[in-house]
A and B are shown apart, each in its own frame.
Chain A
């Protein structure tokens, strides 16, 4: 097939390769990720580490694992229970040395993050703050412009509203003023001049009071000085007066904040106390000043009260306006919805009872169908009897003899009653028909009593007379037992009918009410919309004043924060209102990011410094306990080895320390620091310190690697097990198979053909099928040869050999067949024996092929999961395949870092072997395929 190579082919192939190799790429990138990839929203991460590889390959225990080990040593768990005290001490000392190393590096790293953080805090943060302030100033213009646009937009909408709506919109603003009075009352001037008036009065009264009291502190201190009193109390009294004066001057005075804490507790008490020591004249002066101040302040308070009163009046007025708009509608809506709800309840009750009636009816109907089994045969029997009677009577002559054949009147009335009910329901038609037949028959008997009686001498009629009572008895039992059921059915059916007639009516009423509710609701909504325009307008008026003022006053990081805080409040008010969508779009939300990120930087740096300090303290304590243990280790170990189980308190203390300090705070904080510094380091305006941030990020990650609780499985052991088992099985299999193949290829003997067919058949029987047998077999062999038993490497190797021989013999026989016979014949002429030709000629010639077969066998055994999982039950005896499964189940299944690392470590040797042998594999396959 010779086509021109079009670029599209390359593109297709490359696209396919990308898709096909994506899982491999994913495995690799996930194995070097630092974050928890099983919950991260990103497919890949820029934060990488080789920690997983280090953990799995070197299996170096970190601090918690060391802790587990020493705890195990002191409780003499396995394997330490079998060691001598010297060995135990050696192990302990090894652990202690490792601890020392970890402490040392923890101090180093902790100091490094602290010093980096302090450097940033000293050398960069002031600069960053001023830059952040600049950026806020720069961007604030856009917000002020936006607010003025919104305010004029809202103003236009607001002006077209009726007065009541305008009023109603004031409720929110007035309430907010009520809780925190401020100068923004000016905006109320148009609607409530009295509020503005009283506010101004209040302000005035404050400034008047301030001027009236301006000399008070000076006077008081003079009086006290005159009396020679210069103690703390005197100072405090002067201070109290100064505070009072200042709050009046600043206009921040409130009576509630003044009266109890300043006046009662300090001015009043101190004046009384000091009066005893200053002499009567001065005491009187002090008393006068006190009462003067009190009365002045009372004036201020009364001004505030009148302001507060006018505010309350305004609130009630606005509330009245709002009610005027809404109350009628609201109350009619409430009535309607109450009706609606009660109707709905009624409907659901009725539906439920209708369903229950239906259920009872169907139950009764099924009962009646059971009784029909009693009635129908009766009808037939009675029919037969009556027709017998009829036929006889028709032949007989009329007789005047009178007598009663059999009185059936009670049955007739029963049957009539039956029919009277059942005929109402077509459901019972078939059985009604039967009862009708019975009734007809009975009527016939009743009407012809005498004539039948006259024919009593006929055998047939006599027979009928004898059996009739039995039939009637049966009939009676059927009818009498079913009549109550029928009546019940009838009753339920009536009720059901009544209800099902009622239900549509209620449905109609419900529909009517809901059609009424709709418009009212709509009206209420539209009124609410208008009110919300008004209230948003006032909010805008208020906020725009505040924000304007704050924007002009931005001169520090905190004032910028206050500005942003109010801006944010206003924007969220806007976004929460239901007319937000009709307003012009907001400026982009990320324009103050620099400020917020600077804030985050400050927080992070502080957290880092704090964490560094507490980490050092924690390490101090931890190493203190360890040094304790180290000093006493010999005694502790000896006591333990002598067989007296001995609990070591330090072990518990260490665990408590670790849980209380590291697990609860330091560890999580280090995680936060690492994540935040990573985010911040990428920002353009922190480029200068990105190196420092990166160092903090890495260092805190490595600190957590030392201290966090980890699970490190014995992966290298598993890998080694796999290699030993697969490798030795492959070598032995190929050697035995070559031996087996040789006679089949070179010799002709009895049984050769059946042997070959047998081998062919055997290799078709999958080893899997014989698992039960193999399991029991290994169990059995293990009793005599423990190294070949269950849960041993030998046993698994043995199984792999058994599974591979048949197939490999067949394969190798094929190879041997391709080696020309002449070589051996020549050798044999030279005096070589058969065995020598095999050993010296055939084997060397086919060595490369055998090697490839061996490697393929190795790969095959390595990939076995199921046999290994059945045979190997001890954690240390797992093969790689079984071990890998433990990563993917249970508690560790979300630790994708370890799992993918283990997968990669396990796949690389095989991948390399396979790809370097692909020439043979591919060649062998194509040869085989083309040969056919």
Chain B
């Protein structure tokens, strides 16, 4: 019974936490993640409550992490592969609209208003309740009421003072002048409460209050629209900061307009450019201003969204994307295949030389030869790049070629051929020990009597290698070689840390290099920096890589019998 109770409490607890998370996620707009957490919640409840779900209880922790860190990212990748998520299109449509609605534009003939802040004190400390006294260029005074929040922004009304007082929204404001110096307005009385003079950008004596002003009022004032039916609207703009208020207005507003859609006239909410009075156009995942006189359109802001197979089709149709992509694609296969061939041939030859039980120091030799594999790859690669292949300092150019052979230096990373030579040299060094080890294992499993029989039949060593050893080796090694191909297909570290893909492919609008493989190309697209980011295209190529790798792996599983293991 206690156990049951604990179980229920656990379920309740988990449900509560996850429920809260789901709410947060939906508020944040992360619907996909939210759905995944809902699925998790259902699954967890099933596993914990239903006795049939017993096996799943073991898996829960791992599954939660898998869902969040593997399944969701995969889903996300698939999603953005069909979106134009790239530099210039980094917002959602809603975010883009909000950005536009927040844009303030200063009026053509701006009028500037000086202002002072009057604050209500409580226990001798300033509070967040304040009003503004404005002064226009002619010296007329206005009172602006305390900003009130509306729709994530703030609004305040301001009215001209007549005879030292004014009524705004039914509240009477009147100014209190200093008795000693009547030009000084020391407070504003609102319904009997005095708001004291607090801060003005033109009065140095109030600067000690600047910090409080900035941290408590700044964020409110920078989002406040000051409204007066005759004068229009005033803002604190980014151009003038908090120095003065200026006549300005929101550049875009939402408005409903009759629009003809599918032959029916309907009312639709559109953005209006308040300067031109023209509705903002929306096409190609972006908002466009239209100049009414010339009809010329200028893009204001882009947003990301579903574009179908756009990313995939641009890989096949846009010449400037296609041709570098094709060259990267072809080189990736060459790279993986040749890497396997080089590492395997070196490894196999060494394995054959080492494959003799009578050989002295055999284990020592093998251990020494494994060292390149045992060193973390990134260390070796960085050492090779900086110490060996650097064009001016590297010891190959400087000492081997320069001092010893007196040959001209090789432009290792500036010339595609030599960059590839460097890559193969390093990758062979890194990869042959693995091949040697697996070949040794496979060689040892070939029974000796086969060779004896062959030698009795008068077959040469060379002949018996190709007729006995090699075929027998291939049976166990084929899946491993294919796996190695798949590994090198995505061997990001060698490419990225050694050549970084250089030399670049000329005339490419995407950041592609002549030694870039698909995965490093993808990385450049997503994180390349200089030429902008194109997450959408990167994700599309990721999916392509996934399909290729999955195909290769499927073949491999078939060969190695992993699928049977599933059915066991």
Interface digits, A734-776 against B, CB 8 Å rule (1 contact, 0 not)? 0011011011000101101100110011101110111111101
Cβ–Cβ contact A768 & B70, under 8 A? no
B489 CB to nearest chain A CB (Å): 10
How far apart sit A899 and B378, CA to CA, in the bound complex (Å)?
13
Quick check: is B290 within 8 A (CB to CB) of the other chain? Answer: no
Quick check: is A825 within 8 A (CB to CB) of the other chain? Answer: no
Cβ–Cβ contact A870 & B527, under 8 A? yes
Partner of A753, one of B383, B440, B566: B566
How far apart sit A244 and B141, CA to CA, in the bound complex (Å)?
104
Cβ–Cβ contact A39 & B393, under 8 A? yes
Cβ–Cβ contact A866 & B523, under 8 A? yes
Please give me the residue from chain B that is nearest to A798 by CB atom: B69
**Given A13-B353, A43-B399, residue A930 in contact with residue B374 (CB < 8 A):** no
B389 CB to nearest chain A CB (Å): 11
Contact residues in A for B361 (Cβ distance below 8 Å) = 10
Quick check: is A238 within 8 A (CB to CB) of the other chain? Answer: no
Chain A 780-802 interface residues, beta-carbon cutoff 8 Å to B = 780, 784, 798-799, 801-802
Please give me the residue from chain B that is nearest to A859 by CB atom: B376
How far apart sit A900 and B379, CA to CA, in the bound complex (Å)?
9
Interface digits, B372-405 against A, CB 8 Å rule (1 contact, 0 not)? 1111111110111111101001010011000100
Contact residues in A for B438 (Cβ distance below 8 Å) = 925-926, 929
**Given A764-B546, A768-B492, residue A929 in contact with residue B442 (CB < 8 A):** yes
Cβ–Cβ contact B388 & A23, under 8 A? yes
Cβ–Cβ contact A884 & B382, under 8 A? yes
How far apart sit A437 and B314, CA to CA, in the bound complex (Å)?
52
Contact residues in B for A54 (Cβ distance below 8 Å) = none
Chain A 893-932 interface residues, beta-carbon cutoff 8 Å to B = 893-894, 896, 899-900, 903, 906-907, 910-911, 914-915, 918, 921-922, 925-932
Chain A 869-890 interface residues, beta-carbon cutoff 8 Å to B = 870, 881, 884-885, 887-888
Please give me the residue from chain B that is nearest to A903 by CB atom: B379
Cβ–Cβ contact A932 & B369, under 8 A? no
Quick check: is B545 within 8 A (CB to CB) of the other chain? Answer: yes
**Given A5-B360, A866-B523, residue A802 in contact with residue B395 (CB < 8 A):** no
Instruction: Pick the interface stretch among B71-79, B296-304, B503-511.
Output: B71-79
Interface digits, A12-28 against B, CB 8 Å rule (1 contact, 0 not)? 11001100110110110
Contact residues in A for B440 (Cβ distance below 8 Å) = 926
Quick check: is A727 within 8 A (CB to CB) of the other chain? Answer: no
Chain A 16-65 interface residues, beta-carbon cutoff 8 Å to B = 16-17, 20-21, 23-24, 26-27, 30, 38-39, 41-43
Quick check: is A389 within 8 A (CB to CB) of the other chain? Answer: no
B456 CB to nearest chain A CB (Å): 14
Contact residues in B for A770 (Cβ distance below 8 Å) = 70, 73-74, 76-77, 542
Contact residues in A for B434 (Cβ distance below 8 Å) = 925
Quick check: is A814 within 8 A (CB to CB) of the other chain? Answer: yes
Quick check: is B253 within 8 A (CB to CB) of the other chain? Answer: no
Main secondary structure of the interface of A (DSSP, over half): helix
How far apart sit A211 and B534, CA to CA, in the bound complex (Å)?
103
Cβ–Cβ contact B65 & A802, under 8 A? yes
Cβ–Cβ contact A911 & B429, under 8 A? no
Chain B 65-124 interface residues, beta-carbon cutoff 8 Å to A = 65-66, 68-74, 76-77, 80
A246 CB to nearest chain B CB (Å): 58
Contact residues in B for A922 (Cβ distance below 8 Å) = 437, 441
Q: How many residues of A contact B (CB 8 A)?
A: 99
Quick check: is A805 within 8 A (CB to CB) of the other chain? Answer: yes
State which size class the interface on B falls in. 35 or more
How far apart sit A903 and B379, CA to CA, in the bound complex (Å)?
6
Partner of B368, one of A21, A798, A899, A928: A21
Quick check: is A674 within 8 A (CB to CB) of the other chain? Answer: no
Cβ–Cβ contact A769 & B70, under 8 A? no
Cβ–Cβ contact B383 & A5, under 8 A? no
Contact residues in B for A743 (Cβ distance below 8 Å) = 55-56, 58-59
Cβ–Cβ contact B374 & A910, under 8 A? yes
Quick check: is B328 within 8 A (CB to CB) of the other chain? Answer: no
Please give me the residue from chain A that is nearest to B489 by CB atom: A766
Contact residues in A for B279 (Cβ distance below 8 Å) = none
A56 CB to nearest chain B CB (Å): 14
Cβ–Cβ contact B356 & A762, under 8 A? no
How far apart sit A899 and B386, CA to CA, in the bound complex (Å)?
9
Cβ–Cβ contact B393 & A736, under 8 A? no
Quick check: is B165 within 8 A (CB to CB) of the other chain? Answer: no
Chain B 386-432 interface residues, beta-carbon cutoff 8 Å to A = 386-388, 390, 393, 395, 398-399, 403, 429
How far apart sit A116 and B496, CA to CA, in the bound complex (Å)?
53
Cβ–Cβ contact B539 & A9, under 8 A? no
Quick check: is A204 within 8 A (CB to CB) of the other chain? Answer: no
Cβ–Cβ contact A764 & B566, under 8 A? no
Cβ–Cβ contact B374 & A911, under 8 A? yes
Cβ–Cβ contact B383 & A12, under 8 A? no
Contact residues in A for B385 (Cβ distance below 8 Å) = 888
Partner of B69, one of A30, A41, A799: A799
Contact residues in B for A307 (Cβ distance below 8 Å) = none
How far apart sit A894 and B73, CA to CA, in the bound complex (Å)?
40
A780 CB to nearest chain B CB (Å): 7
Chain A 817-832 interface residues, beta-carbon cutoff 8 Å to B = 817
How far apart sit A127 and B235, CA to CA, in the bound complex (Å)?
92
Interface digits, B348-370 against A, CB 8 Å rule (1 contact, 0 not)? 00101111111111000101111
How far apart sit A768 and B387, CA to CA, in the bound complex (Å)?
28
Cβ–Cβ contact B553 & A764, under 8 A? yes
Contact residues in B for A805 (Cβ distance below 8 Å) = 62, 65-66, 70
**Given A760-B557, A884-B379, residue A9 in contact with residue B567 (CB < 8 A):** no
Quick check: is A809 within 8 A (CB to CB) of the other chain? Answer: yes
Quick check: is A865 within 8 A (CB to CB) of the other chain? Answer: yes
Contact residues in A for B379 (Cβ distance below 8 Å) = 884, 903, 906-907
Contact residues in A for B62 (Cβ distance below 8 Å) = 736-737, 739-740, 805, 809
A865-B497, A929-B438 are known; give 19 further A-B pairs, CB within 8 A: A3-B356, A5-B359, A27-B387, A43-B399, A739-B62, A749-B54, A772-B76, A772-B535, A773-B76, A799-B69, A817-B568, A838-B58, A865-B378, A906-B379, A907-B375, A915-B367, A918-B374, A926-B437, A930-B442
Return 30 A-B CB contacts under 8 Å, by A number: A1-B446, A1-B451, A4-B358, A23-B387, A23-B388, A24-B371, A27-B383, A42-B399, A736-B62, A740-B59, A743-B59, A753-B566, A756-B566, A760-B553, A765-B74, A765-B546, A766-B545, A770-B76, A772-B526, A801-B65, A802-B70, A888-B382, A893-B386, A915-B370, A915-B371, A925-B437, A925-B438, A925-B441, A926-B440, A930-B445
A-to-B contact residues, CB < 8 Å: 1-5, 9-10, 12-13, 16-17, 20-21, 23-24, 26-27, 30, 38-39, 41-43, 736-737, 739-740, 742-743, 747, 749-750, 752-753, 756-757, 760-762, 764-766, 768-774, 776-777, 780, 784, 798-799, 801-803, 805-806, 809, 814, 817, 834, 838, 859, 862-863, 865-866, 870, 881, 884-885, 887-888, 893-894, 896, 899-900, 903, 906-907, 910-911, 914-915, 918, 921-922, 925-932
Q: Which 4 A-B pairs have the closest CB atoms?
A: A802-B69, A926-B441, A770-B73, A773-B73
